[in-house]
């Protein structure tokens, strides 16, 4: 018999039953050790363990904030007690949430764009809403079964709003020893090693004894160790994929000029991607400049001869949040070729570079689109490179990540020829676009003059998670602020 089992049986022999914490305290064993012993003894029929289920209500971080400040609709009702509020002024997320729930519960009415309290709203402003009062009861430890019966709808609302979560936990209610346990010998087995330490190994005791078999399915007290966020892990996997192939990581600014984000990439100044519906513009400062005037003139000439339209330097100076990390690649191509032309750079071709960074797009958010996301970008600068080299490189990158990709011709202003690549999303049984690629146009960054070939590509990283994790149905889930989602998800 194992030492832990013998100790537990001895503790139980003198009492009709015991609780788990009581047994752990009396035996001076750890909770995991007691649990392990109980599972073994239960399998041998020496103890009977009775369980009970208990619900536990956990308030989220957002819920804790509202316990302190009141729900968004309660904050709105308090404002309306003092003055009317213009609907157009409720531009913040909290303001919109407050309006949504205030209208749902008939607390407000709208007249000529102004919000006014209804009779129900005046009562709620004075005494609090059902949802808010229940949230505060839970936080103050005042919630009981009677309030639960009284507030079923409010409870459902709080769960729906992810302000609380309800966990069902299984607890050991009582432990009692059986007749077999009373009659079993309590001696600890001498010919079996049940604890491996340095003394066992150093003394070579293990050569003449057997090892105790352990049941890995035995339930133990749940632990929540620190783990990496899945997006952090995916980004590290992407980095490792490129580095293993001899790529060097580069980076650039998140606030970028339109020149580097669009003009240097041969994107026309009237392209829809430049509209405020697609790109975030910086209000202060509104603009910046590019120091190399000769390069600016070269880009201007390329635009006017290629697109047959007048090119505005003022538009190129506009500051934006970068919509892609291709602007980082554009800067590096320009700097490398400039150094080559000045014979200051001693480069061994091909040059392989990649970047990983956040990009910002004024997108309508859905299962595969975000307004703030991560993108990887890659370039290879060399002589006589072809699309076959590009496809082979991308296939190897995605093979490293365990993903199969396919290619098809596509158009992008800064590459010729161009292609897009897709991967199979098993959860929706469809192929999903991952990114675009191609050979950088000769007009860009002086590539033609230097007789170099530049292969370039860019792809979103969040979409990799849709492919890798079949349980993930939307990339918005990656930024769920519930800690339970991180604790309970499977490692992929």
State residue 473's pLDDT score.
76
Which residue, chain included where needed, has tokens 């399998």? 43
Give the CATH class of 61-162: mainly alpha
Q: Are strands 210-211 and 192-193 parallel, antiparallel or unpaired?
A: parallel
- Which pLDDT does position 221 carry in this prediction? 63
Task: Give the pLDDT confidence score for residue 414 in this predicted structure.
Answer: 86
pLDDT at 149: 59
Q: Nearest-CA neighbor of 325 among 406, 265, 266?
A: 265
User: Out of 1.10.357.10, 3.40.50.150, 1.10.10.10, 2.60.40.10, which CATH number does the structure's domain 3-57+169-211 have?
Assistant: 1.10.10.10
pTM of the prediction? 0.59
CA contacts within 13 A on the Cβ side of 266: 19
233-254 as b/e: b if 16+ CB within 10 A = ebbeebeebbeeeebeebebee
Give the Cα-Cα-Cα angle 208, 210, 215 (nearest 5 degrees).
Answer: 160
**pLDDT confidence of residue 240:** 95
pLDDT at residue 187, rounded to an integer: 66
State the pLDDT at residue 392: 96
Residue bearing tokens 């990656």: 478
**Fold agreement (3-57+169-211, 61-162):** yes
Domain ranges of the chain: 3-57+169-211, 61-162, 233-254+322-486
Distance (Å) of CA 195 to CA 27, 31, 211, 214, 389: 18, 17, 9, 11, 56
| pLDDT for the residue 241 | 95
What does the CA dihedral 182, 188, 189, 192 come to, rounded to 10 degrees?
130
**Cα–Cα distance for residue pair 476/420, rounded to 1 Å:** 23
Q: Does the 233-254+322-486 domain belong in CATH 3.30.930.10?
A: yes
How much is the pLDDT for 413?
A: 86
Helices 3-13 & 31-43, crossing angle to 10 degrees? Answer: 80
pLDDT the model gives residue 147: 56
Mean pLDDT by 10 residues, the chain (492 residues): 80 81 81 82 86 83 89 90 83 83 90 87 89 89 65 86 83 84 72 69 72 66 77 93 95 93 89 83 88 86 88 92 92 85 73 94 80 92 92 94 92 91 81 91 67 89 86 79 71 60
Which pLDDT belongs to residue 477?
Answer: 81
């Amino acid at each position: 018999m194992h030492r832990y089992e013998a100790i537990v049986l001895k503790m139980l022999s003198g009492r009709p039953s015991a609780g788990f914490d009581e047994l752990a305290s009396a035996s001076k064993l750890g909770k995991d050790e007691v649990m392990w012993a109980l599972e073994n003894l239960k399998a041998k029929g020496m103890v009977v363990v009775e369980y009970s289920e208990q619900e536990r209500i956990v308030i989220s971080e957002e819920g804790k904030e509202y316990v302190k400040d009141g729900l968004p609709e309660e904050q709105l009702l308090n404002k309306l007690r003092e003055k009317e509020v213009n609907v157009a002024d409720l531009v913040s997320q909290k303001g919109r949430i407050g309006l949504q729930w205030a209208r749902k519960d008939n607390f407000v009415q709208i007249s000529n764009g102004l919000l006014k309290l209804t009779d129900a709203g005046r009562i709620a402003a004075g005494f609090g809403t059902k949802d808010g009062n229940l949230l505060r009861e839970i936080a103050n430890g005042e919630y009981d079964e009677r309030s639960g019966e009284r507030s079923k709808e409010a409870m459902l609302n709080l769960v729906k709003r992810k302000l609380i979560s309800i966990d069902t936990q299984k607890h050991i209610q009582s432990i009692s020893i059986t007749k077999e346990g009373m009659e079993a010998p309590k001696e600890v087995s001498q010919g079996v090693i049940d604890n491996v330490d340095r003394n066992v190994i150093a003394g070579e005791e293990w050569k003449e004894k057997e090892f105790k078999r352990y049941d890995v399915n035995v339930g133990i007290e749940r632990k929540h160790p620190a783990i990496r966020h899945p997006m952090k892990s995916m980004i590290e996997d992407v980095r490792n994929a490129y580095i293993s192939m001899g790529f060097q990581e580069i980076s650039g600014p998140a606030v970028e000029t339109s020149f580097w984000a669009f003009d240097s990439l041969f994107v026309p100044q009237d392209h829809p991607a430049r509209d405020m519906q697609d790109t975030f513009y910086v209000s202060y400062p509104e603009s910046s400049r590019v120091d190399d005037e000769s390069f600016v003139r070269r880009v201007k000439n390329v635009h006017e001869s290629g697109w047959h339209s007048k090119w505005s330097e003022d538009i190129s100076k506009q500051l934006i949040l970068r919509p892609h990390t291709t602007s980082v690649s554009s800067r590096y191509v320009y700097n490398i070729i400039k150094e080559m032309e000045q014979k200051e750079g001693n480069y061994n071709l091909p040059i392989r570079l990649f970047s990983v960074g956040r990009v910002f797009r004024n997108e309508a958010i859905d299962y595969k689109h975000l307004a703030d996301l991560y993108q990887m970008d890659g370039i290879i600068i060399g002589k006589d490179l072809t699309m076959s080299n590009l496809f082979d490189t991308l296939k190897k990158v995605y093979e490293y990540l365990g993903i199969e990709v396919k290619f098809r011709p596509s158009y992008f202003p800064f590459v010729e020829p161009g292609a897009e690549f897709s991967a199979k999303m098993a959860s929706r049984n469809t192929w999903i676009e991952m990114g675009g690629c191609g050979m950088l146009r000769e007009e860009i960054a002086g590539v033609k003059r230097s007789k170099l070939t530049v292969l370039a590509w860019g792809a979103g990283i969040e979409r990799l998670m849709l492919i890798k994790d079949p349980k993930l149905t939307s990339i918005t889930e990656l930024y769920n602020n519930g800690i339970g989602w991180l604790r309970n998800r499977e490692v992929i």
